[in-house]
Structures are given as structure tokens and as C-alpha cells.
Structure 1
Amino acid sequence: MGKELAASVLKTLEDHGFEAYFVGGCVRDWLLERPVHDIDICTNAHPGDVTRLFPDHVPTGLKHGTVSVRVNGQFFEVTTYRKEGKYEDYRRPSAVEFVEELSLDLERRDFTMNAMAMDLQGGLHDPFDGQGDLARRLVRAVGDPGERFREDALRLLRAVRFAAQLGFAIEPDTLDAMKETAPYLARIAVERVREELNKMLASAEPQIGCWLLCETRLFDYAPLVAGLFDKSVDDSWRLVHLPALTQRWALLMYAAGYETEAARQVCTGLRMSKRETESICTLVSLLGRIQPDWDSPVSFDWGPLLLKEGRETCEDLAHVIQACWWNHADPRLFSAMQSAYEAMPVKSLKELAITGRDLQVALQKKPGEWIWRTLDTLLEHTALHGLPNERDVLIEVARKEVARDEY
């Protein structure tokens, strides 16, 4: 559906005397028969022409020649052919110049596989042999690779990410240029770096990306991040067996020997969200306590973990442990956790037949931390050790617990 709608944009431009092509990642992914999420269009029409022809639009980046055109609720970025001026911040050009020739627009792009354009009839414009590099399974910079990376240092990580997503190698001259220009990555905003790392780790072959990060030394400016990949690379093949990104980060941390504090520093340095940080650090802490050996399954008691950490965290932990054991995975791991969960007669404080207020009234004591300590003890004994979940029984046990603490 998306391609048909986008084709209507090309047709409108052509009907009014302009050139128009599909360009970039969508062309690459069509040729690779991969899912296409965004369809970009390039044209010799200037932004004013595009806004005139498509009243339903958003002026996304007029000074850079980009207008987002909406067709039946879907947006397509339409960008005027352009050349780019000098890059002053290793990320964006200081100025752009609109041009009339498609070839000039394609030569400013990052990699040959992204420097292809396709017309309405499926004809391919491929001045840098991007199709050949797809067949050779190579990531190759357009033109002088060192110049491409100095223009926009984020391309260093994009090369790694594409290699991991597609299972490609990086062409030797491009790889050498990445090593030479690696220090420029330090100039890129942390949020952009994190986004590329997340895409790499979520890819089909993240171990390729991890190996390339070690090979190119892109993170020598951030020793904790560099150490994370250096120390975990031998076990990075396990990442693909994990369904969630936070699980993949946690496995890397564990494989690198990082404890909770180092993990938190990495998460903070990459400006991950509070929720992501806490999820990763919780898993790292639990892995540090359990210390699963690689490919050596053992049985352990899920009950206390389920009670303290909750089912969702334990499911995440089980996935990571199973990846640690992958060569000799334990098929009973998840069923053992499920059985432990179902065996608990109560699973949370709210299921206890008593509240903190009940304790305060029954024991005639002022509010304080003793209430939560006592409730936690009652929950553990009720969930795991057979204490009946009955109000009078719980009050009597609580009375003895409080007396013991006071004594």
C-alpha cells in the first residue's frame, strides 16, 4: 500500500514536468526483499513547487529542501536534489545548494547501497554500483570514505549498524577509514550514538556489530563503553537469542564482568531512560548474585526471586540465563519458574489477609518501618513456607516477630 501511495507522489511531480525518484533505504530494501518502513523521494522540484502541488504537507526542513507530503494519512519525505556545503560540526552541512542533476544528489550520500534511485517503472540509477555491493554483501562508502566520515561522524556507527542488520562485511578501504576517523565519533550527540547502538543490538546479527566496534576502536573516547564490547565480544553471539533490548544490554554487561555500578554508569553515560536503566541494572544485579556459568545449567529456587522481584523481571532474567546456557539450554527453566509461581498461595502484599493498619491496631504501636519489615516477613512465610493466610494467624506471628525485634 505504501509504495502505491508514494508512486502517486512521483506521478504528480512528473505530470507537472519534474523529475522524481524513490531514493535511499527504500530502494536498498526493495532490492534485498526486506520490509520497507519509510519511503523517501527525491526530485528536481524546489520546495516551493512541492508545497504548491501538495497542499497537505508539513514543511519538515525547508532550508534543506525537505517537505513531508501526506497521502491518505501516510507521510513521504520529498527532498530537492542538493549538494552540501562544508560540514562544521561533524554532523550537518553548514549550507545546502539545490541542483538539477540526480547524480549530484546521489554522490553526497553515505554508502553505495543508499545512493541508488528508482523511477516509477522500476529503472535503477546506480552510479556507484550499490547493487553490486549488495550482491557482494559489502558496506562501502561513496567516494572518499575518510571524507564521508569526517563530514558526518555518525556514519561510523551507521556502517556498523548496517553490517549487523544485513550480515554484511565492511569494504577494506571503508574499514581503514573508520579506524582513522574514529575519534570524530566523540563529537556526536549521545542520543544519536545510543540510537544507533540500540539498532545494532536489536539487529539480526549483533555479534558482527560488536566485533566491528572492537576492530575499529570507535569508543576509545568512552572507556567503559569500549570495555563493555571488548570484554563481551566472545559471547555476543548469544544476543540474538534474547527478545528484548534491555536483556541484550544486561547480557553484554554480565559477559563483560560489569557489576551494577558500572552498568549504571554505562546507562547514564548513554542517557538511557530511567525505566531502561533500572531494568538493565536489576538484571545485572541478579545475574551477579546467581552467577550462571556459560553453558552449564543448574537448577535453583525461583520462589524467593519471584516474590521479591516479580514475575516480569524473573521472565526477563530467565531469558538471559537461557542465553548464558544456550549450548546446553535447560528446556525446564521456564516451566520451573511457572510452577514456582503457581505454587505460591499469595504473590504480593495486597493478597495478604492483613494490612499495615491492621497490624498497627492489633499491636497498639505507632507507625514506622517495623510495619513494612513485618509485612515482608509475613508474605515470605505465607508464600513460601506454608503459613496460613488467615488474619488471626498472621497477627499472632507478627506479634512474635515484633517482640523478637524489640528484644
Structure 2
Amino acid sequence: MQQKKAVSGMLSIPEGVRALLETLEAAGYEAWCVGGCVRDMLLADLRMLNGAQPPVREPEDWDVTTSALPEETLAVFGDRALPTGLKHGTVTVRTADGPAEVTTYRLDGAYRDRRHPESVTFTRSLEEDLARRDFTVNAMALNLRGELRDPFGGRRDLENGDLRCVGAPDRRFQEDALRILRGMRFSAALGLDEEDETGRAIDRNRELLREIAPERIQAELTKLLCGRYAKEVLDNHPGVVGVFWPEALPMVGFDQRNIHHCYDVWNHSTVALANTPPIPELRCAALLHDIGKPAAFTLDEDGVGHFYGHAAASVELADGMLRRLKFPNDFRERVVRLVAWHDRDIPRTDRGVGRALRRLGEEELRLLLALKRADNLAQASAYRGRQAEIALAEEILDRLLAENACFSLKQLAVNGNDLTALGLRGPAVGRALETLLSKVVDGELPNQRAALLKFVTES
């Protein structure tokens, strides 16, 4: 068992959590911060010492584990404590920094549904509690005095950049199959390389993901895609993605047979993903923008590959894939629009950019231009010249917005009441407004009240 002082680093235990630990210790119980918050504190220390990137991750949650039984924790904190998960030993305590989960040291019983233990046994041993956890980097505990309890070498693995299961990897993944995606997500987010046996076990056990609820897969996949090292992880484990998205498998190794491309369809897509900001909808669109290419592939008489209609095919496939994983409708619809538009030419003119702005809005148009930039960067180096065109479109967009150009109905100098006053009724009002907006965007009419009303009157 390793037991040593943690480096005094960039992150510290919040005052509210410190007070919680102090209260438990004063009542005669052991109390430790545990799991991801400890991992991220140690990562911050390591990166401060060696200047490594990416920057420090702030812990998302501060979890506490204790030798106190649930009813003892409730008694210690009184009305500040809520029995949110007594079956599994969890009590939520209100602190000055927000709610914190306090869980009794425990042993897990058999896993029957590949997700949750059928029973939980409480223990007074911290080491027994840490032994049930998924990865060594998540199986560390830190107390108020900076003492690190690390029986499985999690700190060493962080220092070496390794992701390793606690105990036998097959057993860990067979207990809870979602750990397969969690492991991939940790690698993508933290830049940890899977230890050999852990990496092989991820692939060996991937079919178990069929037993996991789609909503849970969706949540882990979204975080994975936004990781700094998502490309490397996806390239290493396309078969895992293929369990819940079999449509992706034909992309793997698919030779595009075209001088514009130096990657197969899968690698082209992951390179594009790596060249986008970590925005979930954008990363998802980058991965799926060419999902229809294998089905749309044709070969001409010169042996050159073409993908006529691949955007429409990609839209249909992407829509179904996102529905299967229960993505929210607004997320799915945005991704599908980006996929539909990714190969569409936007003229680098006020009219061309204005029309796109009208259809998509500023936020979505900026995402589309980012996708187009990444798509082009994932082509053969001799054909990456579209970067200047995309930059010009962005310049035009910025100027139009700075000039307060009209691209939406709410910016029109007239509204429905104005047209009703002219005698229009029902659907005719909406049609007239759309016509006016189109003509303003195209530069055929000025966005001036008198000119717009005159046009309606004379039409």
C-alpha cells in the first residue's frame, strides 16, 4: 500500500468539503476525498511541475468516502444531510460549496445486469472500498492532511500516462460494461494510454455494450468525442463504436481512390474531428459527415472514386444513429443540418453568406464554417487550399454582423401588424414577410419601412 503526502499544487479541497471532512473526523470517523477529484488534483500537481499541456482540469464533483455508516452520517449532519442513496451507502450533504456525496466504504456484490451490483456490503476498510473501483487513477483517496492512500499505483500510472484497470480488466468490464466507454473517455480527455491488457480487454468485451441503455452510451460518447485525444482513441477502437453504431464500420479502411484524399473514410473523419473545437454537436457532425460515403461510392473508367449524393446519404444515416442513442431533438437536428450543409458551396459574397446566415443563424453558420475548415484540413495536403475561402466567408460574416445586416424576420423594418394594416390576413402575412426578408438578404430591397410597405402594396 502506498501512503505518502500529495504534492501541494494548483488545486485544493474547497472549504465546504474541508469542513465536511473535519466534521466527520471530529465525530470519530475516517473521511477521504476519493475518485475523480483526487485524480484531477494530482494531474494539476504533475502539470504544474513539468509544464505539460493540456491545462488543469477542475474537478466536476467532490466525492467523499467514510468509515461512517449511512445512518451515522445522517446523525452527524442532521438536517444538512439527505438520504439520496441509502441502499448504496450514499448521503448527500449540503456544504458552502454546494452538495457533496458522502458514501460509506463498501464492497459490491455480484453484477447481474452488466451495470449495477445486486447488493452492497458496508465495510470499515478504505482499501476494500478502493479495490472495487474501475481504474487505478480513480482508486485513490486524499485526506485533510494531504495523505494519499493509493494501494493500486494510480499516482504512478498518472505520472507514466497509463490507464490501467484495478485488478483483472475482463472482470472490471464484465461487472459494468459502461466502463468500456468510460475508459475510452478517460483516455480521450486525460491523454492516458491504455495499458496493453486494459486496451485488449476493451476490445474483447465490447459486445457487452449491447446490454447498456442508449442514454448512458450517449452521455459517455459525447464526453469522449470532446476529449483532446478523441481521434487517437477512436482510431484505436472503431470496433467499439461499431457495436452501437454499426453504420460506422464500413468507413474503416475504405479507400477513397481519389487524389483529394490521403486517408480512408474513417481516418478522414477522425482527423476532421481533431481539427474542430470541442463542441459536442460539432465533434459529432465531424465524425458523421461522411458516414454515407461507402454506400455512395462509384468508380469511373479511370479508376477514380466518386461519392455523388453522399451528403444526403450521410444525413439519413446520421439521423437514425442519433435517434438510436436518444440524443435530444435539438442536438440531433443541429448535427443533421451540419452534415447536410458540409459539402454545400457558400458563395463568398454578401448575398451568399447572407443567405446562409438567414437559413442557419450566426451560431450554426460559424459551426458549419468550422466543420468545412476541418473537412478540408483532413484532405490530402495539396488540396487544402480552401482555407482561404473559408476565412473570406468568415470575414464577410463578421462584417455583415457588424453592419447589423438583416437576416431574420425580427430584424425586418416591418412586422405582421404592419402587413395586417395593409389588408393581408392569415398565411398571406407570413408569406409576405418571408418574401421581404429574401429580397432584403439578396440586396434587392433596402431594409427600410417605407420601401418594404411600398413593395407589398404594389405586389
TM-score, normalising length from structure 2?
0.77
Q: Does 1:278 align with 2:302?
A: no
> Which of the numbers 279, 285, 299 marks the counterpart of 1:244?
279
Aligned partners of 2:195, 2:178: CA distance in 1, in Å?
18
Pick closer, same or farther for the CA change 1:2–1:308 going to 2, 3 Å.
same
Aligned to 1:339: 399
Q: Does 1:149 align with 2:183?
A: no
Pick closer, same or farther for the CA change 1:318–1:97 going to 2, 3 Å.
same
Q: Does 1:16 align with 2:22?
A: no
> Which of the numbers 93, 98, 103 marks the counterpart of 2:122?
98
Q: Does 1:263 align with 2:318?
A: yes
Deviations 1:81-139 (A, max 9, x none): 11111001000000011112111111100001111112222122211111111112111
Q: Does 1:306 align with 2:357?
A: yes
- Tell me the amino acid that sits aligned with residue 234 of structure 1: H
1:83-162 pair list within 5 angstroms:
83-162=107-186
Pick closer, same or farther for the CA change 1:352–1:65 going to 2, 3 Å.
closer
Higher mean Cα deviation, 13-22 or 130-139? 13-22
Alpha-carbon contact 1:242-1:320 (below 8 Å) kept: no
Q: Which has the higher contact order (CA 8 A, sep 6+)?
A: 2
Aligned partners of 1:41, 1:70: CA distance in 2, in Å?
13
Alpha-carbon contact 1:229-1:252 (below 8 Å) kept: no
Deviations 1:360-393 (A, max 9, x none): 776x78754x654444333222332332456675
Pick closer, same or farther for the CA change 1:382–1:4 going to 2, 3 Å.
closer
Aligned partners of 1:212, 1:70: CA distance in 2, in Å?
42
Pick closer, same or farther for the CA change 1:307–1:71 going to 2, 3 Å.
closer
Aligned to 1:404: none
Q: Does 1:192 align with 2:216?
A: yes
- 1:209 deviates by 2.9
Gaps of 5+ in 2: 1-11, 45-56, 254-264, 293-312, 378-383
Alpha-carbon contact 2:409-2:433 (below 8 Å) kept: yes
Higher mean Cα deviation, 264-273 or 68-77? 68-77
SS at match of 2:59: coil
Higher mean Cα deviation, 118-127 or 386-395? 386-395
- 1:20 deviates by 1.9
Aligned partners of 1:346, 1:302: CA distance in 2, in Å?
12
Of all paired residues, the percent bearing the same amino acid is 35
SS at match of 2:133: coil
Alpha-carbon contact 1:160-1:212 (below 8 Å) kept: no
Pick closer, same or farther for the CA change 1:2–1:385 going to 2, 3 Å.
same
Alpha-carbon contact 2:247-2:291 (below 8 Å) kept: no
Q: CA RMSD in A?
A: 2.8
Aligned partners of 1:228, 1:39: CA distance in 2, in Å?
40
Aligned partners of 1:178, 1:242: CA distance in 2, in Å?
27
Aligned to 1:29: 40
- 1:204 deviates by 2.0
Gaps of 5+ in 1: 293-297, 402-407
Alpha-carbon contact 2:16-2:97 (below 8 Å) kept: no
Pick closer, same or farther for the CA change 1:235–1:350 going to 2, 3 Å.
closer
Aligned partners of 1:108, 1:339: CA distance in 2, in Å?
57
- 1:142 deviates by 0.8
Deviations 1:270-326 (A, max 9, x none): 111111112111211211433x9xxxxx84631221223322322222222232344
Pick closer, same or farther for the CA change 1:382–1:72 going to 2, 3 Å.
closer
Alpha-carbon contact 1:69-1:75 (below 8 Å) kept: yes
SS at match of 1:37: coil
- Tell me the amino acid that sits aligned with residue 236 of structure 1: T
Aligned partners of 1:390, 1:15: CA distance in 2, in Å?
73
TM-score, normalising length from structure 1?
0.86
Count of aligned residue pairs for this structure pair = 392
Higher mean Cα deviation, 243-252 or 341-350? 341-350
